[in-house]
Chain A
Amino acid sequence: MNRKKERLIKYLFTTLAFASLAFLIGIVLVLFKEALPIFAKVGPKAFLLGESWYPTAEPPEFGILPLILASLWVTAGALVICVPLGVGSALYLHELAGPRQRAVLKPVIEILASVPSIVYGFFGMVILAPWLQDTFELPIGLCVLTTSIILGVMATPTVASIAEDALSYVPRSFREASFAVGADRWQTLTKVIIPAAGSGISTAIILGMSRAIGETMTVLMVAGGSAVIPSSIFDPVRPMTAAIAAEMGEAPVGSEHYNALFAIALILFLITFVFNIAAELISRRFRLKLGLSR
């Protein structure tokens, strides 16, 4: 009886575990199925490198280069914010903070991660954008800079918590050996701990990038939405996620526009897929380097 129950439970959990795989395959299939017609119609090169996005004009133009570049610009900008903030917080938490600071800071960072993205978007639209607009005397505050700042803050908890994990995986023996040969705390940190945790920290940064490039609600609210190739951080832009969110509701099902939006989603999926594979590979190397079992 007991064994039977055990086997039943085993099958149940196996099914549940493989359900995610089924979802992933389903998503990929649908993305490809709905996206392919537009590649057949416009051609992959014209789609990816075309510079005008006029999906509803007569005749329509489906060039998504401005959208791809917009996503990359705001993600790069977000990195400038979230890497120092996230890695810095991780180092502080791990190296300098006493138990009392940790007890306050860790939950606070976690709360930052759980703030709904629309709240960030609202903050960006109502407070940050007008402030930047006045400070830099911009024609309009909805631009790459505003979006990057908000996305950077949103990605900070991801980077901080994964980087902190990476630091905590560095074996005590490394530190003790470093102190034993007479290195001081700063030397130990920069010459031993950070290099040892380096690939773990890289993983943290890549996952932060995934977080930033996939964010939708916030960019829809603060990026401005102009489908132009950005030439400065003060330009309004239309990242891929914003284009999909803004247009999907009105695109007739099965139309070229609809297929084009799926194709954008496919490109976005491939980008984050590459990010995640990279993160996985790097973290595997990191564990090997530290002699941890996989």
Chain B
Amino acid sequence: MKKIMTILMIAGLGASAHAGKVVIEGSTTVLPIAQRAAEVFMKNNPDADLSVRGGGSGVGIASIIDGTCDIADASRAIKPAELEKAAKRGRDLKAHIIAMDGISHIVHPSNSMTGLTREQIKKIYTTRIKNWSEVGGPDLKIVVISRDSASGTFEAFSEMVLDKKKVRPDAIMQASNQAIASIVARTPGAIGYVGLGYVTGTVKPLAVDGVMPAKETVLRNKYLISRPLFMYTNGKPAGTIKLFIDFLKGPEGQKIVEEEGFVPLK
């Protein structure tokens, strides 16, 4: 029995050392797309060996600079400091936009509000507005719900809406889009933000500066609280890496993007 185990382990080690292995690491926002895409891709190409893990955009980019991953997922563009570090290590990072993501602000369906300005949302999240009546809604305390400060969605929201100002400390912090959507769905005073894919019939999306968040408005660059999702490669992709990126950008990959609740490129 032990012998068999040893043989299996050696065989396993041998396989993982194979040159065809592609490591994908980074943003947890991109993670579900990368994971599903890798599964389908490996089914189509039984020789390919992809390993996908999260860690966050920063971790992914640090790993590709260090050479410990082949594709870095990122829910933000690379920062100048990171580019500099990459250049020093002789890495030439290429960005591939694989999808778009819009951040929708959602409230309880019973809330009479239909839209807010970006400035109002900022004030709500930084304590200056505390009651819906201050923005023309019902006389109801606003329950502010945010993603945990370490999440990529939070980072994007903080940058695009809050101008990096701190979220009020008494905001309810939740670990996932799903948790935010389900709390908003049963809390009359709540406001939260989630990826487009999480806007269902149980919550009400708000227009921001008069524009409703939707696939079309994100794609036409009208809804501004949106961002591209990236995969970074070292130099021009080749071999399995190229095949995988092409697959993601192709019709089958973009279908996965849509199924995972993001905005496909076309």
Contacts and interface: CB of A to CB of B under 8 A. Distances in A.
Given A140-B189, A249-B28, A250-B151, 7 more contacts: A56-B155, A228-B170, A246-B175, A249-B54, A249-B150, A252-B56, A252-B58
A225 interface: yes
Contacts, number: 78
B171 A56 contact: no
B172 A140 contact: yes
Given A57-B166, A252-B62, A226 B173 contact: yes
Interface stretch (B88-96, B141-149, B228-236): B141-149
Contact of B166 (A54, A66, A235, A252): A54
Contacts of A52: 169
A250 B147 CA distance: 12
Given A56-B149, A57-B149, A247-B148, A226 B169 contact: yes
A236 B187 contact: no
B174 A225 contact: yes
A249 B186 CA distance: 28
B150 A130 contact: no
Interface in B149-208: 149-152, 154-155, 164, 166, 169-175, 183, 186-187, 189-190
B59 interface: yes
B159 to A, nearest CB: 11
B172 A246 contact: no
Interface of B: 28, 54-56, 58-59, 62, 141, 143, 148-152, 154-155, 164, 166, 169-175, 183, 186-187, 189-190
A40 B173 CA distance: 28
Give the most central of B141, B148, B186: most A CB within 10 Å: B148
30 contacts: A53-B169, A56-B149, A57-B164, A66-B169, A133-B186, A139-B141, A140-B143, A140-B172, A140-B187, A140-B190, A142-B183, A220-B175, A224-B173, A225-B173, A226-B172, A226-B173, A228-B170, A235-B170, A236-B170, A236-B172, A238-B173, A246-B150, A246-B173, A247-B148, A249-B55, A249-B56, A250-B148, A250-B150, A252-B56, A252-B58
Chain A CB within 10 A, most for which of B166, B174, B175, B189: B175
